[in-house]
A and B are shown apart, each in its own frame.
Chain A
Amino acid sequence: MRYYTYFPGCSASEGGAKAYNWSAKAVSRVLDVDLAELEDWNCCGSTPSGSVDELGAYCMATRNLALAEKRGLEMVTPCSACYVIFNRTNTYLNGYPPFKAKVNEALAAGNLAYRGTVKVRHLLDILTTDIGYDAIKSRVKKPLAGLKVAPYYGCQVVRPRFGFDDPEYPQSLDKLVLSLGAEPTNFPLKARCCGGSLVLSEEDVALDLIHRLLQSASSNGAECLITVCPLCQTNLDIYQSRVNKKFKTSYRLPVLFFTQLMGIAFGLEEDAIGLRNCIVPIEEVLAKYV
């Protein structure tokens, strides 16, 4: 058994990406990974808070890191935005001592202090690096032979360079698809942006980017996409019908969290991995292979 502190993030815990949380926990159990949720955590602030009030946003993120430091374990999050925020915070706190002193001055008002020792990792990193492809392969009960999966990384799991994979041509998710018995498609735009939160304020800008991704995946024969980020999944899945309307296309590509695809291959119950939460249904595609 491997032990981590778990930071689900807002979208996966109570928001639109609950299926990510469920499936992350379900496959972790199968792989003997213990994810103990950080108690009383708060929103990491994501990108928007840092753009409104930088210091406040760093303090929000650091409160979580200070709480996690008490447990002394590595912290793992399934959300790419949380992942970047925490790593950026660690980098700046440890690289700029006067800045760390200032953040700790604010934290002291809540009787907290942060030394800067919590390593924060993405769930994809934990499952592919610590657990490994062979261990994942050994748990597969329903090999997805023939299923063509476009592995979509998006941005913040690989950029900037906090990580475990190449910032422009990552491979970890491709190899994971292989270990599940499925076939990763060529996907030139696999690490390009989905539009992020600008889908709310500048919908046309985001729809254009989502369109390019769907086109890239579809033209390479993908039958579904997998993602590692709640926002990427939301944009590609929920806004797919709007892309179709705007660009007169007829994409019908299911978009799963990578942990849901793992759950399918591990033979887990549909409800345990939240397959019904997908807007574009996956059942039709799966019927051919499982």
Chain B
Amino acid sequence: MQLKTRSETFIEEICDIPGGEGIKRCIQCGTCTASCPNADKMDHTPAELIAMARAGMRREVLSSNAMWYCLSCYLCTVRCPRGIKQTGLMHAFESLAMRDGVSYAGSFTPTMYRSFNHFACALGSMPEFGFMTWFYMLSNPLRAWKMIPIALELFRHGRLSIKARRLTPEGTKQLRAILEKAETLGGVT
């Protein structure tokens, strides 16, 4: 059996993701880095991350903090002269890092995304108050305390609903069946 080199397998994994194949076209011009509002917060800039992925540095890429600072503003994507969908790559790195259990622990963003997804899947809707309370309890209950003035202000202006919007029982069942089936299909690739 012929063994694949490390770089071939990671790059193939990325190229199999819809929209991921552009990574092969990168010329390291740095336009994505220069466009990114959060590049200064990242341990590796967006362009560096692409270079590392192409060098097969799977573990280093997936444990980076870079993608967790991505705001999904898509400036890099519209400016890339090679048509690479960097924002999509960031999302792909995030979900691979989550799946492998190696996501960066220094930011609350992975926990926030997981909390969001938990409610989106379980209820089929986003009860903002429940989601935020859940997230602050999981991340740092002390920060929940700091959110009380904001919650009161929202409540005063009729913008805080405790009640979640519910799908019909048939709709809930249908969504659950679809998501359960999706889980057995082994990801997008």
Contact = CB atoms under 8 A, between A and B. Distances in A.
Interface of B is mostly: helix
B158 A276 contact: yes
A33 B179 CA distance: 34
B37 A160 contact: no
Interface string B141-175: 00000000010011001111101110110110111
* Most chain B CB inside 10 Å of its own CB: which residue of A40, A58, A103: A40
Contacts of B113: 47-49, 51-52
B9 interface: no
Contact of B75 (A95, A107, A159, A200): A159
Nearest to B90: A51
Interface in A34-60: 40, 42-43, 45-60
Contacts of A15: 126-128, 159, 161
A60 B120 contact: yes
Interface string B103-129: 000011101111011011101111110
B128 A11 contact: yes
A250 interface: no
A161 B67 CA distance: 21
Nearest to B146: A203
Interface string A146-176: 0000000001100111000001100000000
B81 interface: no
A48 B117 contact: yes
B56 to A, nearest CB: 21
B100 to A, nearest CB: 13
Contacts of B157: 276-279
Interface in A194-238: 195-198, 200-202, 205, 209, 238
A66 B163 CA distance: 27
B177 to A, nearest CB: 4
A45 B174 contact: no
A57 B113 CA distance: 12
A42 B188 contact: no
Nearest to B184: A106
A247 interface: no
A112 B171 CA distance: 11
A192 interface: yes
A43 B112 contact: no
B74 interface: yes
B153 A279 contact: yes
A109 interface: yes
A16 B128 contact: yes
A54 B126 contact: no
A56 B121 contact: yes
Contact of B116 (A14, A16, A46): A46
B74 A159 contact: yes
Contacts of B67: 51
A102 interface: yes
B37 to A, nearest CB: 5
B112 A10 contact: no
B1 interface: no
B28 interface: no
Given A52-B98, A52-B117, A156-B74, 11 more contacts: A43-B126, A47-B72, A48-B112, A49-B121, A51-B67, A51-B91, A56-B117, A59-B182, A95-B18, A159-B78, A205-B41
8 contacts: A10-B126, A14-B163, A40-B171, A42-B125, A112-B174, A155-B72, A160-B85, A277-B157
Interface of B: 17-19, 37-38, 41, 67, 69, 71-75, 77-78, 85, 87-88, 91-92, 94-95, 98-99, 107-109, 111-114, 116-117, 119-121, 123-128, 132, 135, 139, 150, 153-154, 157-161, 163-165, 167-168, 170-171, 173-175, 177-183, 185, 187-188
Interface of A: 10-11, 13-18, 40, 42-43, 45-60, 63, 84, 88, 91-92, 95-96, 99, 102-103, 105-112, 155-156, 159-161, 167-168, 192-193, 195-198, 200-202, 205, 209, 238-239, 276-279
5 residue pairs, one from A and one from B, having the closest CB atoms: A109-B181, A42-B124, A159-B74, A48-B116, A10-B126
